[in-house]
Amino acid sequence: MVIDPSDVNDRLASAGAGVVQQIESAGASEQELWRRFAEATTSMAFYESWLSLQCRMIEGIRSALVLLGMPDRGPFTPVAVWPSPEFNVKHLVAAAERALKERRGLLVEDEAAGEAGLSVLKGYHVAYPISVSEKVYGVVVLEVDPKSVSRIQSIMQQLHWGTAWLEVMLLRTDVLASAETNERLKKVLDSVASSLEHDRFQPAAMAFVTRLATMLECDRVSLGFMGRKRLRIQALSHSAEFGERANLMRAVEAVMEEALDQQAVIVYPPPPEAPPLVTMEHEALARQYGAGAICTVPLGSENTFYGALTIEVPVNRTIDDHTLELIRAIASLAGPILNIKRQEDRWLVTKAAEKGVETLRGIFGPRHLALKACGVVFLMVMVFFAFAEGTYRVKAPTVLEGMVQRMISAPFNGYIAEVKVRPGDVVQEGALLCRLNDKDLRLEHGKWTAQREQLVKEHRGAMAKRDFAQLRIMGARISQAQAEIALLDEQLSRSRIQAPFDGIIMSGDLSQSLGAPVERGQVLFEVAPLDAYRVIVQVDERDIGEIEIGQRGELALSSLPGEVFPLTINTITPVSTAKEGRNYFRVEAQVEKVSKRLRPGMEGVGKVEIGKRKLIWIWTHEMIDWMRLKLWSWLP
């Protein structure tokens, strides 16, 4: 809230000196002052007449000052000085600043240095802030003669009652400003609403210019947008067909291009305080078609102007600041809306072409460094993929199996007596796997052994008696007993089930089945070798056409991810199996390198080398094949 003392008299002298001189002219009575106060048509005349009345009503006033400005912010400038604008009132500034800062009425003594260094009282400064709705709009400062010190209280009361007129004036000014703003906003929204009533661009543009011409009472409102080569008129108020008025259209387009070239709002005739602009085309249009004033507003921002709005008013009218501000507001809101409608109302091919041209301009133009870098990278990637080749390999899930898998079954009906191994155990050839209970066999073996001894004795007795018939019978029975004994010996030897070769137990956990009965032929164990494996590759039906016998590849197991095993395709089974909604073919391959850590049943991923192909084909052929199949299925 700082006030520049040097600005106090300068501002007032330039703005209201004439009014004050009229009021304070010789012979002006108090009645004349009241009449001018009541009939004041401007704010400056009101403030001057009010201050003159206050100073006449209050006795002992030497000088007075009224400062007004933006509420609570300033800057505060003088609007009235008494007794005349030429009177020096800089000594009142200090009291005004203090009252504005403290936001209350003040009484300040005005002292000056006298003889012998003593202070002499020159007078009093009475400062009273002008407040409306708890906001300080300004201050009134009166210089009071020291002789009127006894009337200070009355002066403060009179000043308090008198400032009510200023508050009323400020409230009236605010109301008028609000009403003016609301009216302007209503007109802006009304014009914008006209552009939103239609979905298509051309009807929306026609409704907008016609509504604007009616609202502003103009002769003609023209709306133009930039095309491929130059600006073209898109809508003309009160005229749906304007193709036949070629000369007028060319003149209006030249006016719009003149404003776009200078990227400035052009008003013709230009106001006195307007910056110097080229207005030759505006002058030519006004001269040829009798326009009183012309205003052209570019549509867009900064260097991206896309159109212009031209307004022509009748001869007896001008375009004032209020109308110009309204036109600016309408153009800034309605312009982008109509431009979007125009762009969306074009053919799809036109949109795509314009987007492509815009992208190319961004790549090859002087700016958009990031877009250029992306374009270069994209071009390098495309060139790389166009010429780079790689090894195409078909990948598929795999399972490791033993080359031979031996089933070990029960040799006879019996009971499990002892189990030495469990699945996963590595066994050597001849190692005991389990033993069946042979108690019954041994008893049977003892029975037949004793019976054979008895028959041998009887055979010897028949031989001593030379009973040849009995001798033959005994010989046959002895042979039968020996055969039974040999059979029992063989069965007893089979009761100890042994490993047929070095390998690993794949299945057969009998450790929890001791004493359980088994039947002849029942599978007890499955044994697979450790030095011969085959890989079962489950190839998807989409890739089976690429697989051939003799192709080489690699195998990586889930349990050994850091080690790769070479393989060779040796068998392709022509029967597919369904799994997880897909069809797979069983392809067998031979593992060329065997590790001691390999075990049957391990799973992993196998890759079969097919040959050299383009990298772009390797990465996209699955999607392309799928699209081909779908397209073929959709075609009639």
Look at residue 217 in the predicted model and tell me its pLDDT. 83
Q: Residue 8 contacts by C-beta under 8 Å, 6 or more apart in sequence?
A: 65, 78, 81, 89, 90, 93
| Both tokens assigned to 557 | 């197991």
Residue 207 has pLDDT above 70, yes or no: yes
Q: What is the mean pLDDT of residues 261-272?
A: 87
Tens digit of each residue's pLDDT (9 = 90 or more) over 161-174? 777 777 777 777 77
Q: Residue 621 in contact with residue 565, Cβ under 8 Å? A: no
The Cα–Cα gap between 261 and 273 comes to: 21
Place of tokens 């001008």: 318
Tens digit of each residue's pLDDT (9 = 90 or more) over 211-220? 888 888 888 8
- Nearest partner of 424 among 575, 312, 288, 526, judged by Cα: 526
Q: What is the mean pLDDT of residues 53-67?
A: 82
Look at residue 132 in the predicted model and tell me its pLDDT. 81
The Cα–Cα gap between 168 and 132 comes to: 9
Q: Residue 139 in contact with residue 127, Cβ under 8 Å? A: yes
310: pLDDT confidence band, cut at 50, 70 and 90?
Answer: very high
The Cα–Cα gap between 259 and 268 comes to: 11
Tens digit of each residue's pLDDT (9 = 90 or more) over 488-528? 788 777 778 888 877 888 777 777 778 788 888 888 888 87
DSSP class per residue in 113-163: E-GGG-EEEEEEEEEEEEEETTEEEEEEEEEE-GGGGGGHHHHHHHHHHHH
Look at residue 296 in the predicted model and tell me its pLDDT. 92
Query: Would strands 603-614 and 533-540 be described as parallel, antiparallel, or unpaired?
Result: unpaired
Residue 12 has pLDDT above 60, yes or no: no
Q: Residue 309 in contact with residue 221, Cβ under 8 Å? A: yes
Residue 41 has pLDDT above 50, yes or no: yes
| Both tokens assigned to 279 | 């207005």
Look at residue 599 in the predicted model and tell me its pLDDT. 78
Domains and CATH numbers, the chain: 6-177 (3.30.450.190), 197-345 (3.30.450.40), 406-526 (2.40.50.100), 532-634 (2.40.30.170)
* Segment (H or E) for 469: helix 468-494
Least confident segment among 166-170, 604-608, 628-632: 166-170
Q: Please tell me whether residue 67 adopts helix, strand or coil conformation.
A: strand
Tens digit of each residue's pLDDT (9 = 90 or more) over 347-404? 777 778 877 777 777 667 676 777 778 878 888 888 887 788 888 888 889 888 777 7
Tens digit of each residue's pLDDT (9 = 90 or more) over 283-298? 888 888 888 889 999 9
Tens digit of each residue's pLDDT (9 = 90 or more) over 419-469? 888 887 888 887 888 888 778 778 888 888 888 888 888 888 888 878 778
Q: What is the mean pLDDT of residues 593-608?
A: 82
Residue 327 has pLDDT above 60, yes or no: yes
pTM above 0.85? no
149: pLDDT confidence band, cut at 50, 70 and 90?
Answer: low
Look at residue 633 in the predicted model and tell me its pLDDT. 87
Between the alpha carbon of residue 234 and those of residues 34, 41, 231, 432, the distances in Å are 58, 45, 9, 101
* Segment (H or E) for 528: strand 523-529
Residue 18 has pLDDT above 50, yes or no: no
Mean pLDDT of the chain: 79
Look at residue 10 in the predicted model and tell me its pLDDT. 53
24: pLDDT confidence band, cut at 50, 70 and 90?
Answer: very low
The Cα–Cα gap between 510 and 333 comes to: 89
Percent of the chain with pLDDT over 90: 1
